[in-house]
Amino acid sequence: MSEKVYARRSENWFKAEGKHGYIYRERFRNMGFGSEVFSDKPVIGIATTWSELNPCNAH
């Protein structure tokens, strides 16, 4: 069983067939995003832990 591999990592998530692809798409839809948000577009996430409310590493 060989799965199709896409150029973008996010395409491998959202275009996947079966249970795993469904779970990725369902999570975005659960947050209120429609399919037009992740169809044929790269999905980029930026994570940061910086916060003015919790300056635990401030010197």
Q: What is the pLDDT of residues 27-49, one digit of tens each?
A: 888 888 888 887 788 878 777 77
Whether 21 and 15 have beta carbons less than 8 Å apart is answered as yes
**Model pLDDT, residue 6:** 81
Report the percentage of the chain scoring pLDDT > 90: 2
Confidence band, pLDDT 50/70/90 cuts, at residue 19: very high
Instruction: Supply angle C-alpha 48, 22, 2, rounded to 5.
Output: 100
